[in-house]
Structures are given as C-alpha cells and as structure tokens.
Amino acid sequence: MAITKTDFMRGMQCPKMLWLDKHRPGLKVIPPEIQAKLDAGNEFGDQAMAMFGPYEEMTVYRPGTRIPDKAAMLQRTQEHLEAGTEVICEAAFSNYNNYCAVDILRKTETGYDMYEVKNAPEVYEQFVKDAGFQYYILKRCKMPIGRVYIVIHGEDEANPFVPVDVTREAKGFYKWINDNIWDLNRKQKEREELQVEPGEQCTTPYPCWYYGYCHGEAAQNASADESATGEEQH
C-alpha cells in the first residue's frame, strides 16, 4: 500500500480522509453536483490529450473493469519513452510504489515538459501542489523534466486549453512532499481508525466525501451500506 497523487492530496487535506479511503470506502458519499464536476473534469482532460496533435495514451484497464492496470501502464510508458514518443498521455511512473500518471508529457530537446490539466478558469494552489507531487515522482525516477504547466479552461471554447507555467512553484514543493509522503504512507496503514477533530479541513480546499460520517450524520445507514458499496480508489 503506497501513495498515489490523489492519496497525497487527500491525505494532506486530512489524514483521516486517506485512512477511510483505504479501509472504509463504503462510507463515502459523493454529492451529485460534485460527481458532475468530476465527470466534466475527466471529459476536459480527455479532450486536452490532443492539444499538441497526435499522441499515445498509456491507460490500460484490468480485464473487465475500469480499474487502471498500473503495472501495464508503467511498462507501456517505458516503452514509449525508449521509443522517443513525442506526446505521451497518462504516462505512469512509480518510485518505492508511490505512483502517478501524468496527464501529458511533451518531448523537448533535453527531455520532457509536463502538463497537468484542470477544468477550471484559473490556477489554484492545490493544482500546483498536485503538479508538484508528479514532478517529485518523476524526478526520483530520474526523468529529465523541464517546464511544468497547469492547463486551465480558457474562455475560447473553440480552443479552451490554456497552459500556465508553474515550473518554479511546482518544483519548489519537492521538499514539502518528501517531508510528508512517508508519514502518510505510515498513517494509511494504521489498523485503528485515525482520530481527527472536524474542522476547516472538512470543506477546504474540497468538500470531504466523509463529511456526514465524521459529523455523525446518518452514520448508522452509512455503516450498513459499507460492505455493499465499496469503491476502488483511483
């Protein structure tokens, strides 16, 4: 059990959220409006893959599921890096089992630039931290990364993909990520549920999907549904 990009961001918002993701995911309640935003974000990301023209996508699913096959994606990514593929989407990397899949890698004269796609009108700090986590994994994999960009949703719907250079800020999170990733690895493996008092982290920077559980709302129903509604963490 290691840390993915999503794990890290959720764990830094609240370590109990990460623990519940790993041990009691059936307690998760995603409001319809939030799910709609997630779906729109995925669609925007899929469209952005072609922003530089032809590309190769690394996504591989386990047979009969929509669960990513990380081992297959890691192997496929290495094959395309060795082949010098110009644009690689969902490029997978792992270091000590900590894992990320980069939205877009674009080949340069000295290595690759990386692009993190967000369906939002501006760059928020959590986006930069998200990109910083990916840079951390890629750097530890000895990938030569030049510039780091957040691709936001611009006003021109005919060409809505607007790259914003966040190289300095994203690379600047390297030590912060290294200082926290191993602690989160330990916390998610705890046998007993982590105890964290409800607070600002319940809604900032994102509404927590375990809000009802931690605030005692419909806890009995959530517990009863747990075994029937378990979800795979992405």
Dihedral class, residue 88 (left if φ above 0, else alpha if ψ from -120 to 50, else beta): beta
Q: Are 21 and 15 spatial neighbours (Cβ–Cβ below 8 Å)? A: no
Give first-to-last CA distance, the chain, whole Å.
Answer: 13
Q: Report d(CA 86, CA 71) in Å as an integer.
A: 22
Residue pLDDT, tens place only, 26-59: 999 999 999 999 999 999 999 999 999 999 999 9
Q: Report d(CA 150, CA 123) in Å as an integer.
A: 7
Full-prediction pTM beyond 0.85?
yes
pLDDT at position 189 over 60: yes
Structure tokens at 122: 């501006």
Q: Are 146 and 113 spatial neighbours (Cβ–Cβ below 8 Å)? A: yes
Residue 63 banded pLDDT, cuts 50, 70, 90: very high
Residue 216 banded pLDDT, cuts 50, 70, 90: confident
For the chain, how are helix, strand and coil distributed in percent, rounded to 5?
45, 20, 35
- Residue (of 194, 192, 198, 230) closest to 214 by Cα position: 198
Q: Report d(CA 29, CA 176) in Å as an integer.
A: 30
Q: Where would I find the beta strands (DSSP E) of the chain?
A: 56-57, 87-95, 98-107, 112-117, 145-153, 161-165
Residue with tokens 């340069």: 108
The reported pLDDT for the residue numbered 148 is: 98
pLDDT at position 1 over 80: no
Contacts of 176 (CB under 8 A, 6+ apart): 132
- Residue (of 164, 78, 176) closest to 114 by Cα position: 164
Residue pLDDT, tens place only, 143-157: 999 999 999 999 999
The reported pLDDT for the residue numbered 223 is: 42
Mean pLDDT of 106-126: 97
Q: What percent of the chain has pLDDT over 90?
A: 91
Residue 78 banded pLDDT, cuts 50, 70, 90: very high
Dihedral class, residue 163 (left if φ above 0, else alpha if ψ from -120 to 50, else beta): beta
